[in-house]
Amino acid sequence: MEKTEVKGHEAHMQKAKNLGIQDEVNRPIKIVFLGSGSAFFKNLFCDVMSIPGAAEGEMALVDIDPKRLELSRRLGEKILEKKQLKGWKVTATTKRLEVLQGADYIINCIEVSGTECVRFDNDIPLEYGVDQCIGDTIGPGGLFKALRTVPVFLEVLKDIERLCPNAWILNYTNPMSIMCLSANRASSAKVIGLCHSVQGTSHQLAKYAGIPYEEMKWRCAGINHLAWFTELTHNGKDLYPVLKRKIGKDPELLAQDPVRFDLMKYFDYFVTESSGHFSEYLPYYRKRKELIAKHCGEKYLGQSSFYADEWPGWRIDNDERRKKFISGEEEIDLARTWEYASFIIQAMETNSPFKIYGTVKNTGLITNLPQNNVVEVACTVDSEGIVPNYFGELPAHLAALCAANQYMFDVAADACIHRSKDLAMKALMLDPLTAAVCSPAEIKEMTMRLFDAEKKFLPGFK
């Protein structure tokens, strides 16, 4: 049978085998999904239900919004019906303590404050000249999302330590680096940070280079959203000269990824996050309007205030689309995606080694980045858990860009753990983009204005 003819369960089996996992899961598993209102829910739920052999178990959904919780419950039931999985049950609650006991895996997609702070995160810094595109992992927006989210996450981890200490927490919530660093410092829970930027970018690079993905060889490491493809070859040939020639001759190709390609011209390597988001990690591209106009494009290519303008609408659209899936007005794509969560679960359950890229503690993994901070590197998953792989040194100029952000993460994590306004202010002073635009006095004033605006979601900060 040709691969194109393989359908349904057989297609998922084939995909798993192609990715190196040979065996099927053979026991019931319990997964708790925290923040089931998340846009990640549909794909991650379908992915878990596509694990070969995983014919029974429990998916416990948790969300503090009862309406969105009910939508996710009904969508989960619809997916089970479509996939004809009668051995799984979906439970739903607004109280996590009711379902954590006995959990094998926790998928974390919580959002603290919903959309209530997105305009503060964007508009107050903009008054000081800090122009953000996404603003949820770095910069003023990323810092204050961390200040709101990390204390709640740490309370969740305390419950997990008590009720299901052996469970792995698969974290998808941003700001990824600060979340994982804070968890590592303040909890004994087993947390791995998961993002799809490595998978997505590796496929993009093959497309840009015009080669089959499976023929491209690469090596990648750094920090989340700032990991670098330090090796990129096809049949032994370095692809970077090829890409540089292409963007020099083809303005349309350059415009598809303007910031990433521009920095590649000078720093020699390609990075994992989209041009707009990536531009926020750097001091170069967003500090003057003319630079934004020259280097940034629309939407994810660097549009000013893009996330703040669009996120509230996306959230509504996500709920409306769920209603269409539930009613049958829109067909549900049940195919397994390349998100790591389901493959991690399958690899652990079957003891089939599988490689992922995750955010983990730097214990000598990248030797020229700050130790005991967090990095994003290849990791091997099997029944023993998740073992990060040694990388070695990054090229010095790439390490310098990563470290500049890590020092900000370092202070920001302590600000979250100790609920310190002073440390939050100092973290923002270390942020590369903010420091490129503002004086220390302006950063202090901005920080205090943000604390005042968002005090409802920042209890206990002094």
pLDDT digits (tens, 9 = 90+) for 368-423: 999 999 999 999 999 999 999 999 999 999 999 999 999 999 999 999 999 999 99
Which amino acid appears at position 231 of this protein?
E
Structure confidence at residue 21 (pLDDT): 74
Q: Does 342 reside within a domain?
A: yes
Q: Please say if the pLDDT value at position 2 is more than 60.
A: no
- Identify the band that residue 128 occupies on the pLDDT scale cut at 50, 70 and 90: very high
Q: Residue range 178-203: average pLDDT?
A: 97
Q: Is the pLDDT of residue 19 over 90?
A: no
Q: Are 369 and 47 in contact (CB under 8 A)?
A: no
User: Is the pLDDT at 11 greater than 50, yes or no?
Assistant: no
In Å, how far are 145, 200, 272, 340, 426 from 195, measured between CA atoms?
17, 10, 10, 8, 27
CB of 426 closer than 8 Å to CB of 409: no
Q: Are 99 and 91 in contact (CB under 8 A)?
A: yes
% residues pLDDT > 90 (the chain) = 95
Angle at 40 between CA 352 and CA 75, to 5 degrees: 100
Tell me, yes or no, whether 128 lies in a domain.
no
Residue 13: band (very low, low, confident or very high) from pLDDT cuts 50, 70, 90: very low
Q: Using CA atoms, how far apart are residues 314 and 319, in angstroms rounded to an integer?
A: 9
7 pLDDT above the threshold of 90: no
The sign of the torsion formed by the CA atoms of 332, 337, 343, 346 equals positive
Bridge-partner residues for 218, per DSSP?
232
Each residue's pLDDT tens digit, 67-88: 999 999 999 999 999 999 999 9
Average pLDDT over the chain, rounded to an integer: 95
Residue 355: inside a domain: no
Query: Which residues, including other chains, have CB under 8 Å from residue 136's CB and lie 6 or more apart?
Result: 121, 142, 145, 174, 175, 307
Helix (H) or strand (E) holding 270: strand 270-271
By CB atoms closer than 10 A (0-12, 13-18, 19+), residue 253 is: middle
Identify whether 244 is part of a domain: no
Measured between alpha carbons, how far is 287 from 249 in angstroms, rounded to an integer?
A: 28
CB 51 within 8 Å of CB 335: no
**166 located within any domain:** yes
Tell me, yes or no, whether 367 lies in a domain: no
Range list of β-strands (E), 344-436 = 354-361, 374-382, 385-388
Of the candidates 394, 404, 402, 430, which has an alpha carbon nearest to the alpha carbon of residue 415? 430
CB atoms within 10 A of CB 299: 13
Residue 8 has pLDDT above 50, yes or no: no
CB 220 within 8 A of CB 229: yes
- The answer to the question of residue 384 being in a domain is no
Q: How far apart are CA 209 and CA 56, in angstroms?
A: 43
pTM assigned to the model: 0.95
Residue 3, judged by CB atoms within 10 A of its CB (0-12, 13-18, 19+), counts as: exposed
Confidence of residue 5 (pLDDT cuts 50, 70, 90): very low
Cβ partners under 8 Å of residue 7, min gap 6: none
Residue 15 has pLDDT above 90, yes or no: no
In this structure, are residues 457 and 113 in contact, taking their beta carbons and an 8 Å threshold?
yes
Question: What residue numbers bound the domain in which 24 lies?
Answer: 3-117+139-195+312-350
Q: Is 295 a catalytic residue?
A: no
Three-state SS sequence of 284-321: CCCCCHHHHHHHCCCHHHCCCCHHHHHHHHHHHHHHHH
Helix, coil or strand: residue 104: coil
- 40 and 63 Cβ atoms separated by less than 8 Å: no
* pLDDT tier, 20 (very low <50, low <70, confident <90, very high otherwise): low
- Residue 255 in any domain: the answer is no
Domain of 159, CATH number, reads: 3.90.1820.10
pLDDT digits (tens, 9 = 90+) for 260-313: 999 999 999 999 999 999 999 999 999 999 999 999 999 999 999 999 999 999
Residue 10, pLDDT > 60, answer no
Quick check: 367 pLDDT over 70? yes
pLDDT value of residue 388: 98
Query: Could you tell me how many residues make up the chain?
Result: 462
Report pLDDT digits (tens) over 203-241.
999 999 999 999 999 999 999 999 999 999 999 999 999
Whether the ω angle into residue 251 lies within 30 degrees of 0, i.e. cis, is: no
pLDDT confidence band for 6 (50 / 70 / 90): very low
pLDDT of residue 23: 86
One-letter amino acid of 245: R
Work out how many domains the chain is built from and give that number.
1
Q: In angstroms, rounded to a whole number, what is the distance separating the alpha carbons of residues 173 and 224?
A: 12
With beta carbons less than 8 A apart as the criterion, state whether 187 and 415 touch: no
Helix/strand/coil for 67: helix
Catalytic residue selected from 196, 234, 295, 397: 196
Cα–Cα distance for residue pair 88/181, rounded to 1 Å: 34
What span, in angstroms and rounded, lies between the C-alpha atoms of 398 and 278? 13
